[in-house]
């Protein structure tokens, strides 16, 4: 079954989960954990990504992020690619470190923020990395310790979380701790890793026709955690991008069309586009080519990497440059 497209937009709350391939460890020691933390401390502020909760376990990790203007995909690509390269070099290993793509669930904030913060921060206790709540309070590889004021993390937005529990830091911390303690006996909560509606009845327009009185009969969409109204709003927003993509394809747009458009705009040869040349004009053309193919047509970065003879991260960076170039020069794929 083909995997579903990511749902991403600025300002959205995401529950992110990463896992080691074949359940292998992604953190073997303290140095690995500190390396990952260093990346978070640099990349999150740079991308204006807010972090409300996080926890490292041996073979997986959880995060609760609010995406910045660039969305969450770019952030995760930077974090995971850099970490994997360093990890493989350190342990003289090759190949993938993480299991498939990271999992990202868009969450309804007013209903689930507090529950998700608690769920994520209790992971080390459930995994028996710490013996009790007192030990969790000072555990350095979980955001709970920062909320308790034991460890300072400049990149973790503790203030926002604590304000959801009380009007002062002291009151918020006290109520937060009581809330976490009350959740220990609840165990794992599978309902916090997906829910809501799925576009499985002929697409968004068909789902919309059903009306609110029948939404409870539709299966859950694992990309979204929220009530029906929230899910319908998210899917409706995402659908704008889907409909544009389908419109382009209905007009006959494919990679060849994009290729011709870019070559004409930059007045270069087709061979230049695929040459790997670093000349500014050629590099800009290649970036716009990648951006339009990936973001507008929905081509995978893996496919584009094979087509251009480069790495997948290189295509990712080209897409980012192409996006900036489009905004700066007001380029449009459709005239």
Q: Provide DSSP, 92-130.
A: T--S--BSSSPEEEEE-HHHHHHHHHHHHHTHHHHTTSS
Structural domains for the chain: 13-191 (3.30.70.1290), 194-250 (no CATH), 255-329 (1.10.1750.10)
The four Cα atoms 226, 99, 61, 222 give a dihedral, to 10 degrees, of 10
Q: How many CA atoms lie within 13 A of 85 on its CB side?
A: 8
State pTM to two decimals: 0.63
Range name among 98-102, 120-124, 173-177, 225-229 with the lowest pLDDT average: 225-229
Confidence of residue 81 (pLDDT cuts 50, 70, 90): very high
Confidence of residue 323 (pLDDT cuts 50, 70, 90): confident
Which residue would you say has higher pLDDT here, 112 or 9? 112
**Contact at 8 Å (CB) between 282 and 273?**
yes
């Amino acid at each position: 079954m083909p995997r579903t497209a990511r749902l991403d937009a600025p300002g959205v709350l995401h529950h992110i989960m990463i896992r080691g391939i074949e359940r292998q460890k992604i953190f073997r020691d303290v140095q690995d954990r500190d390396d990952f933390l260093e990346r978070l401390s640099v990349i999150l502020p740079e991308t204006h990504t807010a972090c409300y909760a996080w926890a490292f376990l041996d073979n997986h990790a959880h995060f609760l992020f609010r995406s910045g203007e660039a969305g969450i995909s770019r952030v995760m690509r930077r974090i995971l690619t850099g970490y994997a390269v360093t990890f493989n070099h350190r342990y003289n290993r090759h190949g993938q470190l993480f299991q498939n793509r990271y999992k990202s669930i868009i969450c309804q904030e007013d209903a689930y923020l507090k529950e998700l913060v608690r769920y994520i921060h209790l992971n080390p206790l459930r995994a028996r990395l710490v013996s009790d709540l007192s030990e969790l309070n000072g555990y350095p590889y979980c955001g709970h310790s920062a909320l308790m004021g034991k460890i300072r993390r400049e990149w973790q937005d503790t203030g926002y979380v604590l304000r959801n529990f009380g009007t002062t830091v002291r009151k918020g911390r006290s109520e937060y701790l009581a809330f976490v303690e009350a959740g220990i006996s609840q165990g794992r909560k599978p309902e916090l890793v997906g829910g809501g509606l799925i576009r499985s009845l002929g697409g968004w327009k068909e789902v919309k026709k059903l009306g609110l009185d029948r939404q409870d009969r539709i299966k859950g969409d694992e990309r979204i955690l929220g009530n029906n109204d929230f899910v319908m709003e998210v899917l409706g927003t995402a659908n704008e991008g889907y409909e544009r993509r389908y419109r382009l394809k209905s007009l006959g747009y494919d990679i060849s069309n994009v290729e011709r458009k870019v070559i004409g705009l930059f007045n270069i040869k087709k061979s230049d586009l695929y040459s790997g040349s670093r000349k500014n004009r050629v590099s800009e053309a290649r970036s716009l080519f990648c951006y339009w193919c990936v973001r507008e047509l929905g081509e995978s970065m893996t496919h584009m990497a094979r087509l251009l003879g480069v790495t997948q991260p290189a295509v990712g960076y080209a897409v980012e440059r192409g996006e900036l170039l489009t905004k700066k020069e007001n380029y449009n794929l459709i005239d």
